[in-house]
């Protein structure tokens, strides 16, 4: 009985890592759509989000059932409560990828990101995707050290965001208001994906150590 319960707990974490994998694909594909103005890829990210939402519901239902039927305490309870929170954040990261894809689609056949901004924006996208990939590993391995390291690397994203603003607000900006608004919002979306990654990683730390994760 207890063993079946622990299998179910492990199953929730396996589901979380799968969802994280789906988010990684969503971030990657949304960026591809953005940088190439590819409407087909953008549409796939947008319609594909339903699979993430559905997977989230399954984790919600299973977690709720386990809480209700097994009445877990201590570490097991911590794990389920954390799973409920992690899955919310992962779903949100999927939504943010959809936002990126929607901006991409809105500008087709143009590319939303002007050429001189592409290095900075491309780097933001890479950092976000890399963080999501690392979070997946952190979930699978319950890797506290990697989780703490991820939190430190969040600073890179902040620097990139500041750089994008500097580039936007330079006096020789030639691309008008629409492109500027797109860049500001895109920067915000990638930054939020990074923030949620750190937050999910912190929850893994909480699961393993019982120490409260750093403030989101």
Contact residues for its own copies, defined by CB under 8 A: 53, 57, 64, 67-68, 71, 73-74, 77-78, 81, 84-85, 88, 91, 165, 168-169, 173, 177-178, 180-181, 184-185, 188, 212, 215-216
* Least distance to its own copies, CB of residue 18, Å: 20
* Least distance to its own copies, CB of residue 73, Å: 5
Which residue number, 69 or 149, has a Cβ lying nearer to its own copies?
69
Which residue number, 40 or 172, has a Cβ lying nearer to its own copies?
172
Integer CA distances (angstroms), 63 to 26, 83, 86, 201, in order: 25, 8, 12, 19
Which residue number, 60 or 130, has a Cβ lying nearer to its own copies?
60
Phi, psi of 171 (to 5 degrees): -65, -20
Which residue number, 38 or 66, has a Cβ lying nearer to its own copies?
66
* Least distance to its own copies, CB of residue 185, Å: 6
Q: How far apart are CA 141 and CA 195, in angstroms?
A: 21
**What region does 10 belong to: left with phi over 0, alpha with psi -120 to 50, or beta?**
alpha
* Least distance to its own copies, CB of residue 82, Å: 10
* Least distance to its own copies, CB of residue 78, Å: 8
Which residue number, 143 or 160, has a Cβ lying nearer to its own copies?
160
């Amino acid at each position: 009985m207890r063993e079946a319960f622990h299998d179910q707990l492990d199953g929730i974490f396996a589901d979380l890592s799968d969802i994280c994998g789906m988010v990684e694909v969503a971030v990657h594909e949304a960026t591809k759509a953005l940088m190439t103005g590819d409407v087909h890829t953008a549409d796939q990210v947008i319609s594909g989000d339903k699979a993430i939402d559905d997977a989230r519901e399954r984790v919600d239902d299973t977690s709720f059932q386990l809480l209700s039927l097994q009445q877990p305490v201590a570490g097991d309870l911590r794990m389920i409560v954390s799973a409920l929170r992690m899955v919310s954040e992962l779903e949100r990261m999927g939504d943010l990828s959809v936002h990126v894809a929607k901006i991409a689609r809105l500008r087709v056949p143009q590319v939303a990101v002007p050429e001189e901004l592409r290095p900075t924006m491309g780097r933001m996208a890479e950092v976000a995707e890399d963080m999501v990939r690392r979070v997946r590993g952190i979930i699978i391995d319950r890797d506290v050290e990697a989780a703490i390291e991820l939190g430190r690397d969040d600073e890179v994203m902040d620097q990139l965001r500041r750089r994008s603003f500097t580039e936007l607000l330079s006096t020789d900006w030639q691309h008008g208001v629409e492109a500027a608004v797109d860049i500001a919002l895109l920067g915000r979306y990638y930054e939020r994906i990074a923030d949620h990654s750190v937050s999910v990683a912190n929850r893994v730390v909480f699961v393993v150590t019982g120490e409260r994760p750093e403030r989101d």
